[in-house]
Structure 1
């Protein structure tokens, strides 16, 4: 039964990502994929918070499976970051491609660690 909940949460995460990404791109005048970066950072922060809740506050492990693996897995979109980076390379925007690829990696790791740290002291 947990697999069904993970799948449903993943679907909800993917739909949420699409709606948020579409809204942010409509408002952004930038040719850089900042909405994708922001979505990945938010999802990583949420995953850090959930992981900390399970590790430090005895939250149900199923919560991490359903919301962490399901929703956050559907919400974040690291494959899109890769595609965006390749598109920037094809457009010969090498600096921007590196900034997006490495910046996304760094900021998502920091966000996940921050979420984990926040729940450790909470």
Structure 2
């Protein structure tokens, strides 16, 4: 049964990534890969928050499977991040590539940590 919850979360996460990514790309993609950047940062925050709620004992394993493994697993995208970073570098936008990688890493860790901190009730 847990696999079904993961699958349902995956469908919802995939749809959310598709919708948000396309909306952001239509507005700002020529400048920077903001769609993937925003998706991965919000996904890191949400997964951190979910992990905090689970650690605090206020989120069941079923909800974590649905939202953490399913939704966040499908919503966030490491492969697209790698492709976009490589493509920026390949096209000669080396400064943008470095900024993209550095901000994704550092802000992603910060977002995940903040989500965890809020999730366990420290804020």
**Band the TM-score falls in, shorter-chain normalisation:** over 0.9
- Equivalence for 1:71: 71
SS at match of 1:59: coil
Length-normalised TM-score, structure 2: 0.92
Using the alignment, how far apart are the partners of 1:12 and 1:102 within structure 2?
28
- Equivalence for 1:82: 82
Post-superposition CA distance 1:14-51 (Å, at most 9, x none): 11101111111112264310111011011111101110
Q: CA RMSD in A?
A: 1.4
Moved over 3 A (4+): none
Length-normalised TM-score, structure 1: 0.92
- Equivalence for 1:12: 12
- Equivalence for 2:39: 39
- Equivalence for 1:99: 99
Using the alignment, how far apart are the partners of 2:41 and 2:57 within structure 1?
23
SS at match of 2:56: helix
The size of the alignment, in residue pairs, is: 122
SS at match of 1:7: helix
Does 2:103 correspond to 1:115?
A: no
